[in-house]
Amino acid sequence: MSKDNKQSPSESLTIKTIFNNIAPHYGLMNKIMSLGLDKLWRQKVVDLVRVEPETNILDLACGTCDLTIMLAKKLKNEGQVIGLDYSAKMLEIGKAKIAKQNLSSVIKLIQGDARKLPFAAQEFDYVVIAFALRNISEREQVLREMKRVLKTDGTIITLDIFRSNLWGYRQLVMFYFKQVIPHLAKLIFNQYQEYNWLPRSIEEFITIEELALKLEEFDLKEIKVEKMMGGVVALHHAKK
């Protein structure tokens, strides 16, 4: 069985159950795990967006909509952001956050599957996915769908966690994900199992270089990669 077809840790535990369970504390736990840097990483995604009249953005696996809201604020009523997620609980919390920010007219939320998007071809100027591609075993199908709904000259953006190539540092980071994060989640939220799959999802994910090659295989152009935190986090973006 090829690496791409393996069942991911999240899917083996049922992805809906995991993300419905962690939804109430998702944003806070992201801040804790990233030492407060997750917003800066998401801002790099936002910075790639060039706002024009009627800009359409699709935020896949949008979770509780932190990135969705940041994108909508940049649009300033010049377009629309659609947030799609598999978890109804995540979307419920995201919807409340959006209403609090008075952005309901700019953002539309849909419960759906990134592997089979309910949109027409060439519908979006930007299609983004942050910290989620590694949780989906059929990632090639996700990339295929992202390209399909993207307009010609539109931009695909991915942001995710990877294994660093720096020996020593890589072991230290994986120790943090394996030994610190699950126990911390259990101590604070009583959610050990939900975070125990995180290090395995990282270890079984393709490398930064392999993801860049995948984008090339899909005939995307102007592929660029930005590594952060010594290659633990990376931003990929490419044009159709």
List residues forming the annotated binding site: 64, 85, 113-114
Q: Are 167 and 190 in contact (CB under 8 A)?
A: no
pLDDT digits (tens, 9 = 90+) for 45-92: 999 999 999 999 999 999 999 999 999 999 988 899 999 999 999 999
CA 206 – CA 183 distance, rounded (Å):
26
Rama region for 36: left / alpha / beta (φ>0; ψ in -120 to 50; rest): left
3-class secondary structure, 90? helix
Pair 215, 143: CB distance under 8 Å: yes
Is the pTM higher than 0.85? The answer reads yes
Residue 38 confidence (pLDDT): 95
Q: Which domains does the chain have, with CATH numbers?
A: 3-239 (3.40.50.150)
Residue 64 identity (one-letter amino acid)? T
pLDDT at 74: 96
Known binding residues for S-adenosyl-L-methionine are: 64, 85, 113-114
Given a cut of 90, is residue 115 above it in pLDDT? yes
- State yes or no: pLDDT of 14 exceeds 50: yes
Section 118-128 average pLDDT? 98
Whether the predicted pLDDT of 4 surpasses 50: no
CA–CA separation, 131 and 236 (whole Å): 12
β-strand partners of 236 = 158, 225
Task: Give the pLDDT score at 126.
Answer: 98
d(CA 51, CA 147): 20
Judge whether residue 144 has pLDDT over 90.
yes
Q: Report phi then psi at 106, rounded to 5.
A: -100, -25
What average pLDDT does the structure give for the chain? 91
- pLDDT at residue 217 is higher than 50: yes
